[in-house]
């Protein structure tokens, strides 16, 4: 009982911190908007779904179109705010903030699971090559003179999933997939795909800047569609992974002990790798390669809340969202807009070194 | 209380070309404590792994309470066989109570959010780990960690218990305390099988001693019948000179070995 209370409090505080971070983030930008106005606009945007239908447009409310499904909302608040501020917030700043939140949430979820599964502090969401696969897919679309009927995110997503699956197959034999082999196969495949990306970069020509921005992770071009992809990917993975929290705890004892405690280790590994890769692929496909979020956020939270995944997973995911919203706000607040990947790495690497000096990374 | 709980029948295990176990059969009854003795590399750990489902035999069958270990799910096996492993990774800081609670894992559904406190507390009281409940596992001594691993297996509340070198690296007090605990669990009706290096301890606490050598069972039976100089010499190699006498305190066989080559040098 005690732990549920503790988990509940942590989630509550982190949600409050998240809301505060979002409000602060919305105020930052070329046009200054005061926090009070931001709160009014955000409250205006709150919608309570009243009905779910298949393409049933209703004149009364705003309609959010998830492919095939329409949700109708009733908006309980209607504060008077200037229209320009409303447009800046809802059309420009909010999609980017929401994307940062969804991507940070997904990457931190995936990172937590990978570190637990690999029992290795260096494990990150792309440890089995998801990001490298996505990078090859995305860069190929951007560089190669071929016209495709679908955009970068879709190709990146599928390239990521195919890579993860390929690494898994490469590391498996006789129905077993030792995590050490998986890790080494992942490193080798990442190196190989890195070479492919470098080669493609040589031929990037005019698109080189677009490619670089993608490779560094950039949320500048965020659309509500991107937000949907990242949110559905991370959200689905998270919800199922929460059900595997206890299995992740038991797996920390080592695979042999996990078997004797009733865990079907190989099948559990497939589920965990699949879901973590899904969350990562969805995040990377729409946001580019954003490093360090999935590596340092889980470590940070493990130091604060301990190794129990029942509390670590939700707090880590929420903190990932907060972290990426905050770093992306810093990235766009300077005179030159930086890709967020540069900021997360610039802040993340020193922090990681601090952890290393304190030897805490040895205690997964 | 002589129903067979663990039945190993004609088991063969090989890794690549190397055969680790060959035609091994062993029965452990309810209320019986079987000690596996034998030299390093004889296959003791592998045999235990065929019972708890970690290793699948290439031939032969293993059943626990009539359930085939090869075809049952890990969860089904873990509901029947509790395992006390050798010291494993501990690079994490779970509190002892959470570690013991993991023993309940095979009995709980994925959506079970309640805490089976009764079974956990019972297991910790039984193993005298209740005072350690809120300490984290990485702050304990080797002997304390061993008791926590036993507590976890006790919390599993299984009819069969498998212990891999439960007395290794423990001091003499902890060795005796550990085996007394296993003995009392067995007296309540559990079937236990343990790999034990110390022949005297095996003779003192086990009902049946099985001597494993080169992947086969050389002999098994009551300690007095099995622990003869010839059997032990065959198992451990001819270069040792074995003397068996009765321990005046415990009245169980005690083995003294003298390396003949060293004796010759004297």
Q: Is the CB of residue A78 less than 8 Å away from at least one CB of chain B?
A: no
Q: Is the CB of residue A239 less than 8 Å away from at least one CB of chain B?
A: no
Determine phi and psi for A316, rounding to 5 degrees: -65, -45
Under 8 Å CB-to-CB from A53, ≥6 apart: which residues?
A69, A70, A72
Q: Is the CB of residue A36 less than 8 Å away from at least one CB of chain B?
A: no
Query: What does chain A come to in residues?
Result: 364
In contact, A176 and A265? CB cutoff 8 Å: no
Report if residue A189 sits inside a domain. yes
Cα B254 from Cα B240, distance rounded (Å): 15
Share of chain A above pLDDT 90, in %: 49
Given a cut of 60, is residue A361 above it in pLDDT? no
Report if residue B139 sits inside a domain. yes
Give me the pLDDT at residue A360, please.
52
Determine phi and psi for A221, rounding to 5 degrees: -95, 25
- Tens-place pLDDT, residues B108-132: 888 777 778 888 999 999 999 999 9
CA dihedral of A198, A204, A207, A213, whole degrees rounded to 10: 10
Domain count, chain B: 1
Shortest Cα–Cα distance, A265 to chain B (Å): 9
Shortest Cα–Cα distance, A189 to chain B (Å): 28
Question: Residue B158: closest CA among chain A residues belongs to which residue?
Answer: A261
Least confident of A62-71, A127-136, A285-294, B210-219: A62-71
Shortest Cα–Cα distance, A161 to chain B (Å): 27
Cα B43 from Cα B22, distance rounded (Å): 10
What domain range is B179 assigned to?
Answer: 4-222
Facing residue for B93 by CB, picked from A243, A250, A307: A307
Under 8 Å CB-to-CB from A152, ≥6 apart: which residues?
A137, A138, A141, A142, A214, A285
Q: Which residues of B touch A239 (CB under 8 A)?
A: none
A246–B93 C-beta distance less than 8 A? no
Domain count, chain A: 1
Q: Testing the interface with B: which of A260, A268, A304 to mutate, by most B Cβ within 10 A?
A: A260
Report if residue B242 sits inside a domain. no
Q: Tell me, what CATH number does A134's domain have?
A: 1.10.3470.10
Number of helices (H), then strands (E), belonging to chain B: the values are 10, 12
In contact, A293 and A324? CB cutoff 8 Å: yes
Q: 3-state class of B61 per DSSP?
A: strand
Report if residue B257 sits inside a domain. no
- Please tell me which residue, B68 or A203, carries the higher pLDDT value: B68
- Tens-place pLDDT, residues A196-240: 999 999 888 888 888 888 888 889 888 898 999 999 999 999 999
Report if residue A353 sits inside a domain. yes
- Tens-place pLDDT, residues A159-173: 999 999 999 999 998
Rounded-to-5 percentages of helix, strand, coil across chain B = 35, 30, 35
Supply B64's token pair: 């626990």
A153 CB-contact burial (10 Å; exposed 0-12 / middle 13-18 / buried 19+): buried
Q: Which residues of B touch A267 (CB under 8 A)?
A: none
Facing residue for A262 by CB, picked from B78, B89, B92: B78
Shortest Cα–Cα distance, B76 to chain A (Å): 7
A249–B102 C-beta distance less than 8 A? yes
Cα A278 from Cα A29, distance rounded (Å): 32
A256–B115 C-beta distance less than 8 A? no
Cα A299 from Cα A297, distance rounded (Å): 5
Local confidence band at A61 (pLDDT 50, 70, 90 cut-offs): very low
Q: Which residues of B touch A257 (CB under 8 A)?
A: 83, 85, 88
Q: Is the CB of residue B108 less than 8 Å away from at least one CB of chain A?
A: yes
Report if residue A65 sits inside a domain. no
In contact, A297 and A323? CB cutoff 8 Å: yes
B92–A257 C-beta distance less than 8 A? no
- Tens-place pLDDT, residues A104-116: 999 999 999 999 9
A253–B91 C-beta distance less than 8 A? no
A196 CB-contact burial (10 Å; exposed 0-12 / middle 13-18 / buried 19+): middle
Give me the pLDDT at residue B123, please.
93
Q: Is the CB of residue B88 less than 8 Å away from at least one CB of chain A?
A: yes
A254–B89 C-beta distance less than 8 A? yes
Local confidence band at A99 (pLDDT 50, 70, 90 cut-offs): very high
In contact, A289 and A345? CB cutoff 8 Å: no
Facing residue for A253 by CB, picked from B79, B89, B156: B89
A257–B85 C-beta distance less than 8 A? yes
Shortest Cα–Cα distance, A272 to chain B (Å): 14
Q: Testing the interface with A: which of B53, B98, B155 to mutate, by most A Cβ within 10 A?
A: B98
Q: Is the CB of residue A180 less than 8 Å away from at least one CB of chain B?
A: no
What DSSP assignment string belongs to B195-238?
A: E-S-HHHHHHH-SEEEEEETTEEEEEE-HHHH--HHHHHHHH-T
Shortest Cα–Cα distance, A334 to chain B (Å): 40
Q: Which residues of A touch B77 (CB under 8 A)?
A: 260, 262
Give me the pLDDT at residue A58, please.
45
Q: Is the CB of residue A192 less than 8 Å away from at least one CB of chain B?
A: no
Give me the pLDDT at residue A274, please.
95
What domain range is A270 assigned to?
Answer: 2-33+82-362
A115 CB-contact burial (10 Å; exposed 0-12 / middle 13-18 / buried 19+): buried
- Tens-place pLDDT, residues A330-351: 998 877 788 898 888 888 778 7
Give me the pLDDT at residue A268, please.
95
Report if residue A47 sits inside a domain. no
Local confidence band at B251 (pLDDT 50, 70, 90 cut-offs): confident
A252–B88 C-beta distance less than 8 A? no
A263–B105 C-beta distance less than 8 A? yes
Q: Is the CB of residue B138 less than 8 Å away from at least one CB of chain A?
A: yes
Report if residue B261 sits inside a domain. no
Determine phi and psi for B45, rounding to 5 degrees: -65, -40
B243 CB-contact burial (10 Å; exposed 0-12 / middle 13-18 / buried 19+): exposed
Report if residue A219 sits inside a domain. yes
Give me the pLDDT at residue A65, please.
46
Q: Is the CB of residue A74 less than 8 Å away from at least one CB of chain B?
A: no
Q: Is the CB of residue B18 less than 8 Å away from at least one CB of chain A?
A: no
Question: Residue B115: closest CA among chain A residues belongs to which residue?
Answer: A1
Shortest Cα–Cα distance, B1 to chain A (Å): 26
Q: Is the CB of residue A308 less than 8 Å away from at least one CB of chain B?
A: yes
Q: Tell me, what CATH number does B212's domain have?
A: 3.40.50.300
Q: Is the CB of residue A120 less than 8 Å away from at least one CB of chain B?
A: no
Cα A176 from Cα A199, distance rounded (Å): 34
Among residues A60, A61, A22, which one has the least CA distance to residue A41? A22
Under 8 Å CB-to-CB from B216, ≥6 apart: which residues?
B21, B22, B23, B24
Report if residue A41 sits inside a domain. no
Facing residue for B54 by CB, picked from A259, A262, A363: A259
In contact, B6 and B191? CB cutoff 8 Å: yes
Report if residue B24 sits inside a domain. yes
Supply B224's token pair: 């007095």
């Amino acid at each position: 009982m005690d732990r549920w209370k503790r988990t509940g409090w942590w989630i509550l505080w982190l949600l409050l911190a998240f809301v505060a971070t979002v409000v602060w983030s919305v105020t930052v930008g070329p046009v200054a908007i005061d926090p009070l106005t931001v709160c009014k606009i955000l409250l205006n945007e709150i919608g309570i779904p009243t009905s779910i239908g298949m393409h049933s447009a209703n004149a009364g409310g705003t309609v959010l179109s998830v492919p095939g499904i329409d949700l109708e909302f009733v908006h309980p608040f209607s504060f008077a705010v200037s229209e320009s501020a409303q447009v800046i917030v809802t059309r420009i700043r909010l999609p980017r903030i929401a994307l940062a939140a969804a991507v940070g949430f997904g990457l931190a979820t995936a990172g937590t699971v990978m570190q637990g599964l690999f029992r290795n502090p260096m494990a990150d969401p792309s440890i089995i090559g998801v990001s490298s696969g996505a990078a090859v897919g995305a860069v190929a679309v951007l560089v190669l003179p071929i016209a495709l009927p679908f955009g970068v995110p879709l190709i990146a997503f599928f390239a990521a999933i195919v890579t993860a699956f390929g690494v898994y197959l490469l590391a498996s034999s006789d129905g077993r997939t030792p995590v050490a082999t998986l890790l080494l196969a992942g490193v080798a495949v990442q190196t190989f795909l890195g070479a492919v990306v470098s080669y493609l970069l040589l031929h990037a020509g005019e698109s080189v800047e677009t490619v670089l921005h993608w490779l560094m992770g950039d949320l500048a071009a965020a659309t509500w569609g991107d937000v949907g992809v990242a949110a559905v990917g991370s959200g689905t993975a998270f919800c199922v992974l929460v059900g595997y929290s206890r299995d992740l705890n038991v797996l920390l004892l080592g695979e042999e002990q996990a078997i004797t405690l009733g865990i079907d280790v190989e099948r559990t590994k497939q589920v965990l790798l699949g879901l973590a890769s899904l969350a990562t692929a969805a995040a990377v496909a729409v946001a580019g390669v954003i490093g360090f979020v999935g590596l340092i956020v889980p470590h940070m939270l493990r130091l604060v809340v301990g190794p129990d995944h029942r509390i670590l997973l939700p707090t880590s995911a929420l903190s990932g969202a907060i972290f990426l919203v905050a770093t992306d706000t810093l990235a766009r607040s300077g005179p030159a807009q930086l890709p967020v990947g540069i900021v997360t790495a610039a802040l993340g690497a020193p922090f990681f070194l601090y952890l290393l000096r304190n030897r805490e990374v040895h205690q997964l | 209380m002589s129903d067979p709980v663990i039945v190993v029948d004609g088991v063969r295990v090989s890794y690549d070309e190397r055969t680790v176990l060959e035609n091994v059969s062993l029965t452990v009854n309810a209320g019986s404590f079987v000690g596996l003795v034998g030299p390093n590399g004889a296959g003791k750990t592998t045999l235990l792994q065929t019972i708890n489902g970690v290793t699948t035999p290439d031939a032969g069958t293993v059943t626990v309470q009539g359930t085939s270990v090869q075809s049952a799910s890990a969860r089904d096996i873990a509901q029947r066989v509790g395992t006390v492993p050798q010291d494993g990774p501990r690079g994490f800081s779970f509190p002892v109570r959470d570690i013991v609670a993991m023993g309940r894992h095979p009995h709980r559904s994925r959506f079970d959010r309640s805490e089976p406190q009764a079974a956990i507390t019972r297991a910790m009281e039984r193993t005298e780990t209740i005072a350690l409940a809120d300490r984290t596992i990485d702050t304990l001594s080797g002997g304390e960690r061993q008791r926590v691993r036993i507590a976890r297996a006790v919390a599993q509340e299984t009819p069969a218990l498998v212990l891999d070198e439960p007395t290794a690296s423990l001091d003499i007090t902890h060795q005796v305390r550990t085996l007394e605990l296993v003995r009392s669990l067995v007296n309540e009706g559990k079937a236990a099988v343990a790999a034990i290096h110390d022949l005297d301890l095996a003779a003192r606490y086990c009902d049946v001693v099985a001597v494993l050598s080169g992947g086969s069972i050389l002999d098994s039976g009551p300690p007095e019948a099995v622990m003869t100089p010839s059997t032990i010499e065959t198992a451990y190699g001819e270069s040792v000179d074995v003397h068996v006498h009765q321990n005046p305190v415990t009245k169980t066989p005690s083995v003294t070995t003298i390396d003949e080559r060293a004796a010759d040098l004297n």
